Amino acid sequence: MSVIAFLLCIVVTTFTAIYLYRKLNPQGVLMLAGLIMLTFALVLNIQPVIPIKPTGSIVFDLVKVVEETFISNLSRAGLMIMTIGGYVAFMNHIQATNALVHISMKPLGFFRRYPYLAATVTIPIGQLLFITTPSAAGLGLLLVASVYPVLIGLGVSRLTALSVIAAATLFDQGPGSANTALAAELIEQTNVAYFITHQLPLVLPTTLVVMTLFYFNNRYFDKKEAARQHTEQSEKAETPQTSAKPDIPLIFALLPVLPLALLILFSPYVGLFQPPITLNTTTAMMFSLFTSLLFVGCHTRNIRKTFDAFSSFWKGMGNVFASVVTLIVASEIFSKGLISLGFIDSLVNYSTHIGLSGIAIAAVFALIIFCAAMLMGSGNAAFFSFGPLLPGIAGQLGMPAYSLILPLQLSASMGRAASPIAGIIVAIAGVAGVSPIELAKRNTLPLIGSILFLIVYHFITL
């Protein structure tokens, strides 16, 4: 039965990839593929996904799963993504983004001659921020609101700017990461000890390789696109490319970076306030929005213009819901379908029976979980499916548990950045008006090189 289920996953995934490549509506393709796999899981009684409140009918239960997926996403990441998307649209409308670019171009003038260097430096800076803001989609969108327009102003392409923003979230590291928490629990260490003892020694050298590969990869693809006569004007239409002084007070330049500053300032890792103040991304965005409205009101001294500007926020939220949140929901249904047919379990079982050495199997597992994260669009889903099995497998292979868990945990989050259905890729591409598939393709080659380095370096230094 597991063989049939595994083959069904392969067939459905292949057709899904073909139809996505042919540019059919991705929401429809992913939703249908997920429902087909969920239906087979029910028929074959493998790992059927049952809604929290069953309807009493198998047919309606499938629809109920879709409904509950919508509700759970809207109450969690969906609202956050919509809020950030609305805030980005609001910043563009009031020209605060233009002000940020104008202010930034003076101290960053040096990087006009080396724009790809500036883009590459974004990666380690973003990784530091990711430790304090452990939400890939959330941080990605915050960087789209603050760093993205500056990179565009320096002269890189939209895909290059988004590529390095996605690369900033490559490694689920730090005590606040869900994957870190599970990995630390599996090897019976604290989150902090696991982060310092195991993650950092592997992440630091891999980050240097990531920066190098993304630098040359982005330069190559931008030159290739220029050779194909892709003009830059299409990019200039939606994002500020000039440092000309906008017709607003330059203090407005603080507004795009205000949410990020608030999240860092009130982070538990900074510890400036006792008792600590807990601030999530959505709350930071809403506070920044109301603060921005005060700025607009004081500047225009016109209630009608202020509320007209406010309407751009709601329009931005609606656009992000239609293009981003719906795609995330469809991707999650697809991921549920893969899990319900036991796709991950089958991969593990087949890999452990091919007679490879311990290190070879660990390397194969790392590549498998990388590909699984690409297919499911989630580093957490991939690692949480694999994770609990790893200590036992490591024992059978005669390896310490951390030596197998560490590369797989990092491989899962790296695979997310190469997935066209991952939340962060869908979110930042949707806000910037870029195809998620094109962004994922841009990231794939340097990520393959990076994960190969990670695997080799890890097992050489064991």
pLDDT at 304 > cutoff 70: yes
Instruction: Say what the pLDDT of residue 291 is.
Output: 92
In this prediction, residues 24-51 reach a mean pLDDT of: 83
Structure tokens at 401: 């548990």
CB distance 90 to 289 below 8 Å: yes
Query: Mean pLDDT highest for which of 2-11, 130-139, 270-279?
Result: 2-11
pLDDT at 392 > cutoff 60: yes
CA distances from 83 to 86, 93, 436 (A): 5, 15, 20
Average pLDDT along the chain = 82
Handedness of CA 436, 438, 442, 448 (dihedral sign): positive
Contacts of 425 (CB under 8 A, 6+ apart): 166, 377, 416, 417, 419, 436, 439, 440, 443
Q: Give the integer Cα–Cα distance in Å for 412 and 426.
A: 17
**pLDDT band, residue 233 (cuts 50/70/90):** very low
How many alpha carbons fall within 13 Å on the CB side of residue 329?
25
HEC string of the chain?
CHHHHHHHHHHHHHHHHHHHHCCCCHHHHHHHHHHHHHHHHHHHCCCCCCCCCCCCCHHHHHHHHHHHHHHHHHHHHHHHHHHHHHHHHHHHHCCHHHHHHHHHHCCCHHHHCCHHHHHHHHHHHHHHHHHHCCCHHHHHHHHHHHCHHHHHHHCCCHHHHHHHHHHCCCCCCCCCCHHHHHHHHHCCCCHHHHHHHHHHHHHHHHHHHHHHHHHHHHHHHHHHHHHCCCCCHHHHCCCCCCCCCCCCCHHHHHCCCHHHHHHHHCCCCCCCCCCCCCCCHHHHHHHHHHHHHHHHHHHHCCHHHHHHHHHHHHHHHHHHHHHHHHHHHHHHHHHHHHHHCCHHHHHHHHHCCCCCCHHHHHHHHHHHHHHHHHHHCCHHHHHHHHHHHHHHHHHHHCCCHHHHHHHHHHHHHHHHCCCCCCHHHHHHHHHHCCCHHHHHHHHHHHHHHHHHHHHHHHHHCC
Q: What would the pLDDT profile of 8-22 be if each residue is shown by its tens digit?
A: 888 988 888 888 778
Q: What would the pLDDT profile of 246-298 be if each residue is shown by its tens digit?
A: 677 878 888 888 888 887 788 766 667 677 777 777 888 899 999 999 998 89
**pLDDT band, residue 109 (cuts 50/70/90):** low
Q: What would the pLDDT profile of 353-376 be if each residue is shown by its tens digit?
A: 666 666 787 788 888 888 888 877
Instruction: Say what the pLDDT of residue 229 is.
Output: 53
pLDDT at 238 > cutoff 50: no
pLDDT at 242 > cutoff 50: no
Q: What would the pLDDT profile of 151-192 be if each residue is shown by its tens digit?
A: 888 888 999 999 999 999 998 887 777 788 888 888 888 888
pLDDT at 231 > cutoff 60: no
CB distance 359 to 403 below 8 Å: no
Instruction: Say what the pLDDT of residue 232 is.
Output: 46
- More reliable by pLDDT, 412 or 245: 412
pLDDT at 51 > cutoff 50: yes
In this prediction, residues 300-323 reach a mean pLDDT of: 86
Instruction: Say what the pLDDT of residue 163 is.
Output: 94
CB distance 119 to 222 below 8 Å: no
pLDDT at 309 > cutoff 50: yes
pLDDT at 315 > cutoff 50: yes
**pLDDT band, residue 224 (cuts 50/70/90):** confident
pLDDT at 136 > cutoff 50: yes
Q: Give the integer Cα–Cα distance in Å for 168 and 151.
A: 14
Torsion angle (degrees, nearest 10) of CA 296, 297, 300, 302: 140
Instruction: Say what the pLDDT of residue 355 is.
Output: 60
CB distance 25 to 57 below 8 Å: no
Q: Give the integer Cα–Cα distance in Å for 403 and 420.
A: 29
pLDDT at 240 > cutoff 70: no
pLDDT at 450 > cutoff 90: yes
Instruction: Say what the pLDDT of residue 271 is.
Output: 63
Instruction: Say what the pLDDT of residue 269 is.
Output: 65
pLDDT at 456 > cutoff 60: yes
pLDDT at 385 > cutoff 80: no
CB distance 173 to 186 below 8 Å: no
Q: Give the integer Cα–Cα distance in Å for 134 and 335.
A: 21
